[in-house]
Structure 1
C-alpha cells in the first residue's frame, strides 16, 4: 500500500518576516524547538518501522524547517530508506545546501518559495542552480501579489530553463481583484496559474485525502488533509491503518494546491506525475524565457 504523509509538526517560527504571513512574526523558544525536534524524532521512528508501506513524506511546516539541522537530517535519512519513495519539503531556500550530499537525490524534492522582500533574486537563483547541479528535482514559486508581477517575470527569465516557476494566486488580501490583464500576465509566467486561481468545487467529490494521502501533526493525529480539522485517527495507534479509506470531501471548495491536487476529478496527478509533492509537472508546461 502507498501512503503520502504531509507532516506539519509544531514548528512555526521563520527567519523571514513577510508582512502577509503570520509565522515570521516571532521566534520560538528553546523549549518549543525541543518539542518540535522530539515530535519529529518520533515520527521518523514510525516511518522507519513501517516497512510494510510505500511511504512518501512532505514536510509542510508553519515556518521554515531547513534552517534547523534535524529537518536536514530527517530528509537525508528518509531518502536512504528503501521503502520511502519520496521526501520533499517546502522552504524559502535560505539554508545552506551541504546536507543534500547526504541524500539520495533521486528521492529528494524541494518546493522553494522566493520572497523578494527577504532574499536577493540572484541568491535565490543561485540556490536553484545549485539544486539543478546536484540533481535535485525542485520547483520555485512566488506569492501572486500584483506588486510582485515584474519580479516574477524577472525571476522567470533568470531561472534555469528546466525549473518550473509557479505563482500562488492571492484569493484573499489583494487590494484589488485581479484584472484580466493581471491574470494573463501571471499565466505567461505560470501556465497553471488559472488552475490555482480557482476555488475548485469539492463537496462530495472523491479525493485521495484520508485514503492514500494524510496530514499528520506533531502528536501523530491524522487528518484527511490540512484543511479539514476532523481527525481520522492517530498514526501511533496500533489499529490506525483501518482509518485509511475513501472519504468524499466535506468542504464546499478547495483553493490550495496541496489540497486540490488530490481531488480525483481534476486529474492533476496526470499533470504532475511523480513530481506531485514538489510541484513539478511531469512534462514542461512553461516558456522558460517568458
Structure 2
C-alpha cells in the first residue's frame, strides 16, 4: 500500500526569532489564533490515528512549532501510532530536547535550521549533540547567504560526521560558479538548491501520494498550488488523488521540488525525504 505523505501547516505563524530574511520574524499570534491552532492540530492527529493506511507527516509551520506544547505532544503521539511511518517537523531548535525521550526514535525526525545571529552557535550545537546522544534522526541547515558561510563551515566541522548539513540557496541571490563550488564543499547537494527547477508539465508526486493540509482540513496538492482537491475530514480529497503534472513554471523550494519525478531526489534522500536526510552511502 502506498504511504500517504502529508505536509501539515496550521494557523500558527509566530516565531521567537527575528531573521531579516523571514516575513514571520518575531511575529506573535494572539490567544484566539493559538487556541485555534491547537484545536486544529489535535483534530488532525485524531484523523491520522483513525486511518487504516500508512501515513508520513511533515509539519511545516510558518512559525516555530516546538516552543508550543501541543506540537511536542502531537509528534510524540504520532510517533507511536502503528500506521505512522515518519513524523518530522521543521524547527529552529530553540526548544528543549528532553521531550523527545517519550517519542519513538524509529519514527520521529527533525529538520533543524541554524540561524546565525539569532542564537549562540555553542547553544545550537549543544542541542544537536543532545539529539545525537538520544539517537534522534535530524538534519541541520543554513540559508546560503555570504555572511553565513563561516558559520556554516564551523557548524559542519562541529557536527557528527553522520549528520547532513544542507544549504538552501537564498531567495533572490545569484551564485557564481565559484560561489556555488564553495557552498558545495559544505553541502555536496547544494546544486539542487542553486537554481529553481522548471516544473511546468513535469510529473510530480504531489496530488497523488503527497498532499498539503491546512488547519481547516483543506487539501491541496502542495503548499505552492492553490487549487483545492477537497477536504481531509469529509474524505472529499480522496477522489482528487491521481498522477498529475505541475502547473507552475518553476519550483524553487525543497519541500516542493523534492517530489518532482524529473529529479532523482527520492533516490538521493531514500528513507529520509521528509527530514531531508540523504542516503549517505550513495550520495555523500
Q: Secondary structure at the match of 2:225?
A: coil
1:171, CA displacement in angstroms? Answer: 3.3
> Which shows bigger deviation, 25-34 or 2-11?
25-34
1:198 to 2:195 alignment: yes
Equivalent residue, structure 2, for 1:226: 223
Equivalent residue, structure 1, for 2:251: 254
Q: How does 1:133-152 map to 2 (within 5 A)?
A: 133-152=133-152
Q: How does 1:1-290 map to 2 (within 5 A)?
A: 1-50=2-51, 52-172=52-172, 174=173, 177-284=174-281, 285-286=283-284
Q: Secondary structure at the match of 1:140?
A: strand
CA contact (8 A) 1:171 1:197 kept: no
CA contact (8 A) 1:204 1:250 kept: yes
Question: CA separation in 2, counterparts of 1:195 and 1:95?
Answer: 30
1:126, CA displacement in angstroms? Answer: 1.3
1:178, CA displacement in angstroms? Answer: 2.1
Change (3 A) 1:239 1:20: closer
Q: Deviations over 1:12-31 (max 9, x none)?
A: 00000111101123211111
CA contact (8 A) 1:56 1:86 kept: yes
Question: CA separation in 1, counterparts of 2:27 and 2:88?
Answer: 25
Question: CA separation in 1, counterparts of 2:24 and 2:92?
Answer: 13
1:180, CA displacement in angstroms? Answer: 2.3
Q: TM-score, normalised by structure 1?
A: 0.95
Question: CA separation in 2, counterparts of 1:247 and 1:235?
Answer: 19
Question: CA separation in 2, counterparts of 1:179 and 1:151?
Answer: 20
Question: CA separation in 2, counterparts of 1:132 and 1:158?
Answer: 12
Consecutive unaligned residues in structure 1, runs of 5 or more: none
CA contact (8 A) 1:61 1:90 kept: yes
Q: Secondary structure at the match of 1:22?
A: coil
CA contact (8 A) 1:106 1:135 kept: no
Q: Deviations over 1:60-86 (max 9, x none)?
A: 000000000100000000010000000
1:237, CA displacement in angstroms? Answer: 1.4
Q: Deviations over 1:102-131 (max 9, x none)?
A: 110110110000011111111111111111
Q: Which stretches of structure 1, 4 residues or more, deviate above 6 A after TM superposition?
A: none
Question: CA separation in 2, counterparts of 1:214 and 1:238?
Answer: 13
> Which shows bigger deviation, 248-257 or 237-246?
237-246
1:98, CA displacement in angstroms? Answer: 1.2
Consecutive unaligned residues in structure 2, runs of 5 or more: none
1:205, CA displacement in angstroms? Answer: 0.8
CA contact (8 A) 1:164 1:280 kept: yes
Question: CA separation in 2, counterparts of 1:68 and 1:140?
Answer: 21
Pairwise CA RMSD: 1.1
CA contact (8 A) 2:40 2:215 kept: yes
